[in-house]
A = this chain, B = another copy of it.
Amino acid sequence: MSLERLRGFRDVYPEEMEIRDQVFDKIKAVVRSFGFKQIDIPSLEPLDLYRIKSGDELLGQTFNFSDRSGREVTLLPEATPSVVRMLTSRKDIPKPVRWFCLPKIWRYEEPQSGRLREHIQLNADIFGSSSEAADAEVIGLACTILDTLGLSGHYEIRLNDRVLMDGILSHLGVPDTRRAFAAIDRFHKVSSDEFIIMLKNAGMDDEAAHRVLKLSGVRSSPSEASEILDDLSLQSDAVKERLERIKQIAALVSKYSDARVVLDLSIVRGLSYYTGLVFEAFDVKGELRAILGGGRYDSLASVIGEQQIPAVGFGMGDVVLELLMRRAGSWRVQENVDSYYICTVNNKLLGKSLQIARSLRSNGYRVTVDLADRNISNQLRMAASSGSRYSIILGEKEIETGFVSVRDMNTGEQRAIPLDQMIN
């Protein structure tokens, strides 16, 4: 019988949790500052909801089971289908809708650096607009979050467009672009030789496979992309038109953030529901997995709720984010509320200490009252190790004189404060 924590799951102790809580508070404040409203979704859903569009790779990683009624259910492996289900079941909400949520997400994958079996994921989406402005806004929001978390200069946005890729691939005579996307999604994870074999397995001849290998390596600023594609003879009219959209998006993103934005033709994203823009954020050193990823998915609502609702959004997990913030030195407690530790010389005076605590708490302070079930020197030792800013000792003398002394634990300075004032 093992009672140990399961592999890939976390116990989060207070020192970490305080940072984590502050980070999420900041994220929520930024997302709300963009006019996004928070929602919450169930953690458990019918497996069917995630079968229809998420793709086979994801389905091989779900924590799914039959519940006591025999219904096939799954812990959320991602959030988008649930969010879309919520949206399509409320037709009264005026669009565009800007929503975000912060659910826990579970995937049965091999735990490794930047990947756990349970993590928290920010999801932010705009529904009801097909404009470049909406595409730019979700990227701009992602950048503003990372900038606010002290990561300016530590990350870059890599974007691409599935319509653009469709255009390029059909220009090359690739027969099955969906299978080609699945291969290209693995570009950075396999060797060139393996990549060529995957492309051939996806139905390409040798020449097409080598050209896809070459184009998968393309990274350029969106404004210079046109020339590069021309050099590679990868341009058609459809491609040109779509490149124009990408340029416009990149120009708008620059109004939100100074983040570097590159067109990266290897970015296609694993999930099968994307229909246009796709993007990811990476650390500039290229050492970590993607920090966040998203894109446009204009057909998911029609599958789930039989409505046409254009949509664009992204998801950001907390695991890679934490790694990057640690490296950037911004994973630390940012501010602290003043806190008091009250020691009580005599158990019978505990009621008085509780009155002082109540008054201080109602004024916004954090107060730990020693439970006074040990002697005063042990209480003082605990006060010193508690991390509290101030300590107070309450004894018979203080009751007699009507003054308590408040000690600043940083400076050692003491001030005598009237007991009445402390209580009221």
Interface residues of A (CB under 8 A from B): 1-6, 9-14, 17-18, 20-21, 30, 32-35, 37-46, 48-49, 52, 63, 65-68, 71, 73, 75, 81, 85-86, 89-90, 94, 96, 98-99, 104, 106, 108, 118, 126, 129-131, 133-134, 137, 140, 144, 251-252, 255-256, 304, 337, 339, 341, 350-351, 354-355, 358, 361, 364-369, 371-373, 382, 385-386, 388
Contact = CB atoms under 8 A, between A and B. Distances in A.
Identify whether the interface residues of A are mostly helix, strand, loop, or mixed.
mixed
Contact of A33 (B13, B65, B129, B367): B367
A321 to B, nearest CB: 15
Copies held by the complex: 2
B46 A2 contact: yes
8 nearest A-B pairs in the assembled complex, by CB-CB distance? A35-B368, A65-B65, A14-B37, A9-B42, A255-B354, A12-B40, A131-B373, A133-B371
A26 to B, nearest CB: 12
Contacts of A46: 2-4, 6
A252 B358 CA distance: 12
A130 B373 CA distance: 9
A419 B96 CA distance: 27
A86 B35 contact: no
A38 B65 contact: no
Contact of A351 (B42, B44, B144, B252): B252
Nearest to A126: B371
Nearest to A63: B67
Given A14-B39, A66-B65, A140-B354, A371 B34 contact: no
B367 A14 contact: no
B48 A11 contact: no
B39 A17 contact: yes
Contacts of A49: 3
Contacts of A366: 32-35
A6 B118 contact: no
